[in-house]
Amino acid sequence: MPIMDESSPIGAAIARDNRRADRLSQASFPQPDSTRVFTVANQKGGVGKTTTAVNIAAALANQNLNVLLIDIDPQGNASTALGIDHYSEVTSIYDVIIDDVPMREAVAQCPDFDTLKCVPATIDLAGAEIELVSLVAREQRLQRSLAAYLDEESAAGHRVDYVIVDCPPSLGLLTVNAFVAAREVLIPIQCEYYALEGLSQLLKNIQLIQKHLNPKLSISTILLTMYDGRTNLSAQVADDVRSHFPDQVLSSSIPRSVRISEAPSYGQTVISYDPHSSGALSYREAAEEIAQRGVNRG
């Protein structure tokens, strides 16, 4: 193998990514003491919410941790990225939340990772916000179904290590269900102007959930996405966010990446599509940090 010329910016970047890949290939992510349930949320669109949900899930599964991703976004983009069928006739999270179908009947296996499963979203979910209004215990329906599923898996000797819930870009009843079901919130924040705009409303909603519905919920993780190291703006936004949330922001950030954008069109995450790309390496490092923080939290 030829020696990489690190004197050029491209050569230096390639050499750096090779070192990162080598380190990650030797890394072992710790298993949490109990199932960690994350909701990935931000009502601001275009911040990399679904991309973060599926790639963190895939990066954890890539380390042989048992992961369940629940797609409660009617667009079903997370289901697409994991290569999961989500046409209207498929048993989905809609059936679980609205019709009390056991979650195990909606769980589908992700083709790229043996330890990653998904509860898909279908277009039927688009009307669920209205249907939920009249249902009993409307805010707890996901939590109750998930708790029953986790108990079943644990009893069968198949404990789930991580549950990641991908929310719609809104603060409606579907997102409330996700907050009630979770213990931790992961907020992706785009490194762009107005990055913190609207975040105050999200934080207020989370505080209301903590007060009235789920006192165990915490904002444990903030991930900077679409970071461009060539611009002062990205660096300024990153500094801004870190000053506001010093304990929650991961040291890893996600760069703008063509590979990350391309992967869903092939029904894949970037972790399986191009595992040595800078985007995949960044998500793998972010997942490693999340796993390590879980040990520290314990």
- Tell me the β-bridge partners of 213: none
Whether the Cβ atoms of residue 191 and residue 43 lie closer than 8 Å to each other: no
pLDDT at 298: 46
Within 10 angstroms of residue 1's Cβ, the number of other Cβ atoms is: 3
Question: Which of 191, 198, 195 lies closest to 253 in space, CA to CA?
Answer: 191
Residues in the chain: 298
Nearest CA to 169 among 75, 86, 79?
Answer: 75
Q: Is 205 helix (H, G, I), strand (E, B) or coil?
A: helix
Query: 248: Cβ–Cβ under 8 A, 6 or more apart, which residues?
Result: 187, 219, 220, 221, 222
CATH architecture classification, 32-297: 3-Layer(aba) Sandwich (3.40)
Contact (Cβ atoms closer than 8 angstroms) between residue 168 and residue 211 = no
Element (H, E) at 108: strand 108-109
**Angle between the 278-297 and 9-26 helix axes, to the nearest 10 degrees?**
40
Tokens of 265: 């069109």
pLDDT tens series, the chain, 298 aa: 445 556 666 777 778 777 888 888 888 899 999 999 999 998 887 888 999 999 999 999 999 999 999 999 999 999 999 999 988 889 999 999 999 999 999 999 999 999 999 999 999 999 999 999 999 899 999 999 999 999 999 999 999 999 999 999 888 899 999 999 999 999 999 888 777 777 888 899 999 999 999 999 999 999 999 888 778 888 888 888 899 899 999 999 999 899 999 999 999 999 999 999 999 999 999 999 999 987 655 4
**Residue 194's pLDDT is what?**
78
Cα(94)–Cα(92) distance, integer angstroms: 5
Lateral strand order in the sheet of 116-119 = 108-109, 116-119, 67-71, 162-166, 36-40, 184-190, 218-227, 249-255
Domain locations along the chain:
32-297
